[in-house]
Amino acid sequence: MKRAICVGINNYPGTVNDLSGCVNDVNDWAKLLNSFGFQTTKIFNEQATKNNILNALENLVKEAKLGDVVVFTYSGHGTQVLDTSGDEEDGYDEALYVYDGTLIDDEINAILKTADKNAEIIVIADSCFSGTVTKALALKAAKRRFVKTDTIPPTAVLKNRFLAKATEENMLEILISGCSDKEYSYDAFINGRWNGAMTAFATSIIKPEQTYNEFYSKLREKLPSEEYPQTPQLEGSEANKNKLVFTEKTDSGAGSCETGGGTDTGTGTGSGDGVTGSSGCLSMLLVHISVISVVLLILQVIIPH
């Protein structure tokens, strides 16, 4: 199984926080993932509520088993929120700023922890979580993807980076994010259209037969740049980073039957016609029948009745 959820928010309540490139990001990631055989579900704007996102992610992870690959992409604002569950009074966490409020990474992690350890999970976040950047781009063709929600004291300590663990080797998922902790990710006008800067370059770079490390090396040739001073991050265990991008794990010598990927219409539902998978399985079955028939003919010649 290959399935993906792609979330993008351009239109936030009101107008001051609106972005321009997140819907394009969703369509670009979905198009790329479809080419890798994924079935994709798109969640846009007012559909991208906290509950809708968590429910979609929970269903995605719950169905993932040995050999499956699932992808969650998010394009929109990030934020920082005061920690209310920890011991430190002035600690804060990083969070997604979704259509109807904040979605902290603890809630996402709680779902990811339920995943089958043999499934492959990729999280892509084209947003930023730092409100302390001292130098930001002042361009009409670029807007930072950060919204201030809580007032964070200057003495506050970052308790949890988005989805990060104490060590990368403990991470079940692969995390691709748009910038470092001290930078902004930008909503940018590139090649005549709006995109997240990271997404625009990443979707043009990812190719079949690349490992995640190889992809990341290519991405770092594009970012950071003078136009977009953001440094994309690749986090996860070294074993996961050396896997081929968006590729299912299969048993040695075993064939695989894969369903064809499909795009949705932006209504929050995905579809796949399964033609590619059906054709592949039928061809494999016909080959097996042909081999068995030849063996039976040989046996009839060798063994007299």
C-alpha–C-alpha distance, residues 33 and 26, integer Å = 10
99-106 LR contacts (CB < 8 Å, sep 24+):
99/9, 99/12, 99/13, 99/45, 99/46, 99/47, 99/48, 99/49, 100/13, 100/49, 100/50, 101/50, 102/50, 102/149, 103/50, 103/53, 103/54, 105/160, 105/162, 105/163, 106/160
Q: Give me the active site residues, please.
A: 77, 128
DSSP 263: -
* Dihedral angle computed from the Cα positions of residues 236, 2, 59 and 147, in that order, rounded to the nearest 10 degrees: 50
Tokens of 134: 């001292």
C-alpha–C-alpha distance, residues 28 and 47, integer Å = 19
User: In the sheet that 193-196 helps form, which strands lie side by side, from edge to edge?
Assistant: 142-144, 186-190, 193-196
Closest CA to 186 of 238, 140, 153, 155: 140
Tokens of 57: 């992610």
* Dihedral angle computed from the Cα positions of residues 93, 238, 211 and 192, in that order, rounded to the nearest 10 degrees: 20
How many other CB atoms sit within 10 Å of the CB of residue 237? 17
